[in-house]
């Protein structure tokens, strides 16, 4: 009877393993099935290198002021000099009900501390100059501040603060805006190996700020910072970004500012802009033709003067085959990450099984030494240990298969563009074969105790001799309940302290 009970436990454990294996795939399917807003890129409210600035130093559709220095690949809002401030603002007014902004920037300096910081704006008027991170005070709209200097001496900087204003609020510099912040989080954004990314989403009257910490090049690796519900901002406004330095100084560089209009599911997307009039279109076509003829003429002259470098210009561009191979490698990288996460889950299950085996073994040794009558026979405990060891063996086999798959994916990924198409396809086939082996092992573990359509029925638990009094059992349950409630309270306080909502 005890063996049948343990077989049921084995089946339940294997089903748990199967659930963990397909958890990631099912999560992606569920997420894709959910309705998401329609995103449309707005080029008039965005900038990105290369060729960011024009030959006259201006930025298309943007205006810069103060110490801001545009270049071909970035905008240096302020250089690492004392008492500097600058900003860039959109020329056109944005009238988006829902929007999303992705900003890529880098804050770097030689010192351990930096000042003052950088700010991302959405305001009804352009704040071209002022005391709030290089922009005007008493703004009407929204400001997200990346404050790198600790004015109040509470050791809570660098930090990200969200401050709203209706045009009547004076920013509290002495307290780092903590008395006015709607949301905040502690993030160190200075001197990171990769540029820091901020994603700001205003959707259905809710503002969400996500931060990429700058430790990985992954563009989608965002961490939650803060979320403000029921937030009202001006219907029309200007996007902007500003920075300032004080007694200490940092370089504040903005690499890109991308703006997207969000449309709720079910609503009709906004119509595209009106077509260019025929007269202007003909004028632009004539300018393009003249530019192309001049370019072809210069290209012929260059080829006559430099016959040795002919054909090298085409190597600078990505071919169709190179793009397909790059996409294959990116897909392999995602597969590698998914399998790596699955490997961690299996390692956790193995640790739990080892802990159970250790506890049961200690119980066997203790009861064998005491020789108390009326306890569970040692043979049944040995059966439990043997069963747990079989489960651990099966898990180790699955873990080995996953490790082989990870090595295959890693070897393909590390070969880079030097590998051929045939080798890439062959490695993909090996990966699929290993995944099928894992699935077959799991199906075999499940079907060992019954057919595919047979429903496993666990036998009734036989009456065991009473080895625990009712009073001791109630005390044990009460102690566990108190410990659980205490852990929940401790975890809540830790999360509240980390988020630092004021």
Give CA–CA dist 284/315, Å, rounded.
Answer: 30
DSSP codes of every residue in 28-40: HHHHHHS---EEE
Residue positions counted in the chain? 502
With a CB cutoff of 8 Å and minimum separation 6, the contacts of 96 are: 42, 261, 262
| Per-residue confidence in pLDDT tens, the chain, 502 aa | 444 445 554 545 554 554 544 454 444 444 444 568 889 999 999 999 888 988 888 999 999 999 999 998 999 999 999 999 999 999 999 999 999 999 999 999 888 888 789 999 999 999 888 999 999 999 999 999 999 988 888 888 899 999 999 999 999 988 888 889 999 999 999 999 999 999 999 999 999 999 998 888 888 889 999 999 999 999 999 999 999 998 888 999 999 999 999 998 877 777 766 556 777 778 878 888 888 888 888 888 888 887 776 554 545 556 677 777 877 888 777 787 878 777 777 777 777 777 777 777 777 777 766 655 545 555 666 666 677 677 677 767 776 766 666 666 566 555 544 444 455 556 566 666 767 676 676 666 666 554 444 554 555 555 555 566 677 778 877 888 888 888 888 888 877 766 654 4
Residue written as token pair 């298309």: 60
Residue 425 is predicted with a pLDDT of 55
Question: How far apart (Å, rounded) are the C-alpha atoms in residues 98 and 45?
Answer: 14
**Residues in CB range of 174: below 8 A, 6 or more apart:** 151, 152
Q: Which residues contact 435 (CB under 8 A, 6 or more apart)?
A: 405
User: Tokens 């290089």 label which residue?
Assistant: 134
- CB burial readout 92-104, b (16+ within 10 A) else e: eebebebbbbbbb
Q: Which residue has the tokens 């005391």?
A: 131
Q: Which residues are CB-neighbours of 171 under 8 A, at least 6 positions away?
A: 131, 132, 137, 163, 165, 177, 180
Per-residue pLDDT at 428: 61
Question: Which pLDDT belongs to residue 468?
Answer: 60
Taking the C-alpha atoms of residue 225 and residue 204, their distance in angstroms, rounded to an integer, is 18
Residue 273 per-residue DSSP state: P
Long-range contacts of 175-181 (CB under 8 A, 24+ apart): 175/151, 176/147, 176/150, 176/151, 176/152, 177/145, 177/147, 178/152, 178/502, 179/502, 181/502
Instruction: Kindly state the tokens that stand for 200.
Output: 């700001």
- The CA-atom distances, in angstroms, between 190 and each of 9, 213, 378 are 52, 10, 62
Cβ–Cβ under 8 Å, residues 103 and 207: no
Parallel, antiparallel or unpaired: strands 206-212 and 196-203: antiparallel
Buried b (16+ CB within 10 A) or exposed e, 188-214: ebbebebbbbbbbbbeeeebbbbbbeb
Rounded Cα–Cα distance for residues 422 and 72 (Å): 40
**Beta partners for residue 142, in sequence order:** 122, 164
The pLDDT value recorded for residue 197 is: 95
The DSSP symbol for 48 reads E
Look at the alpha carbons of 40, 42, 43, 48 in this order and tell me if their dihedral is positive or negative.
Answer: negative
Instruction: Give me the phi and psi of 382, to 5 degrees please.
Output: -60, -35
The whole-number pLDDT of residue 377 equals 57
Residue 498 bridge partners (DSSP): none
SS3 of 52-114: the string is: CCCCCCCECCEEEEECCEECCCCEEEECCCCCCEEEEEECCCECCCCEEEEEEEEEECCCCCC
CB 197 within 8 A of CB 212: yes
pTM score, whole prediction: 0.52
Burial (CB count within 10 angstroms: exposed 0-12, middle 13-18, buried 19+), residue 422: exposed
Contact 501, 226 (CB under 8 A): yes
Q: Name the strand (E) or helix (H) holding 163.
A: strand 159-166
pLDDT at 134: 93
The secondary element (H helix, E strand) that includes residue 387 is helix 378-415
User: First vs last Cα of the chain: how many Å apart?
Assistant: 60
């Amino acid at each position: 009877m005890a063996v049948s009970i343990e077989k049921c436990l084995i089946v339940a454990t294997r089903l748990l393993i199967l659930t963990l294996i397909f958890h990631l795939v099912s999560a992606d399917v569920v997420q894709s099935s959910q309705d998401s807003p329609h995103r449309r890129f707005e080029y008039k409210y965005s900038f990105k290198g290369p060729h960011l600035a024009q030959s006259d130093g201006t930025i298309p559709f943007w205006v810069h002021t103060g110490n801001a220095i545009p270049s071909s690949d970035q905008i240096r809002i302020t250089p690492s000099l004392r008492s500097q401030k600058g900003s860039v603002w959109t020329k056109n007014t944005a009238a988006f009900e829902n929007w999303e902004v992705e900003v890529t920037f880098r804050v770097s300096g030689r010192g351990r501390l930096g000042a003052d910081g950088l700010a991302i704006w959405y305001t009804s008027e352009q704040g071209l100059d002022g005391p709030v991170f290089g922009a005007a005070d008493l703004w009407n709209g929204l400001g997200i501040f990346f404050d790198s200097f600790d004015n109040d001496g509470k050791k809570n900087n660098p930090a990200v603060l969200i401050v709203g204003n209706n045009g009547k609020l004076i920013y509290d510099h002495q307290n780092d805006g903590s008395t006015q912040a709607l949301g905040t989080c502690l993030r160190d954004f200075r001197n990171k190996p990769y540029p820091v990314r901020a994603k700001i989403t205003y959707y259905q009257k809710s503002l969400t700020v996500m931060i990429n910490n700058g430790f990985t090049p992954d563009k989608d690796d965002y961490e939650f910072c803060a979320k403000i519900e029921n937030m009202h901002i001006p219907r029309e406004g200007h996007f902007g970004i500003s920075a300032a330095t004080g007694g200490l100084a940092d370089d504040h560089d903005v690499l890109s500012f991308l703006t997207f209009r969000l449309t709720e599911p079910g609503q009709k997307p906004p119509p595209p802009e009106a077509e260019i009039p025929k007269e202007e279109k003909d004028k632009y076509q004539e300018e393009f033709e003249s530019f192309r003829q001049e370019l072809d003429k210069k290209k012929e002259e260059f080829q006559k003067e430099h016959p040795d470098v002919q054909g090298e210009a085409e190597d600078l561009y990505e071919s169709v085959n190179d793009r397909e191979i790059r996409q294959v490698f990116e897909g392999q990288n995602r597969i590698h990450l998914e399998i790596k996460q699955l490997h961690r889950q299996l390692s956790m299950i193995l640790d739990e099984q080892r802990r159970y085996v250790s506890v049961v073994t200690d119980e066997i040794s203790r009861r064998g030494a005491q020789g108390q009558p009326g306890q569970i026979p040692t043979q049944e405990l040995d059966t439990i240990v043997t069963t747990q060891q079989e489960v651990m063996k099966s898990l180790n086999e699955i873990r080995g298969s996953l490790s082989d798959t990870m090595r295959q994916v890693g070897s393909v990924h590390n070969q880079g563009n030097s590998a051929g198409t045939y080798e890439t396809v062959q490695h993909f086939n090996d990966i699929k074969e290993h995944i099928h082996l894992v699935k077959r092992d799991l199906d075999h573990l499940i079907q060992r105790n019954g057919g595919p359509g047979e429903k496993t029925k666990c036998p009734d638990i036989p009456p065991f001799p009473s080895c625990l009094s009712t009073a001791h059992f109630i005390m044990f349950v009460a102690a566990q309940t108190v410990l659980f409630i205490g852990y929940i309270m401790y975890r809540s306080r830790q999360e509240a302290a980390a988020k630092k909502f004021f």
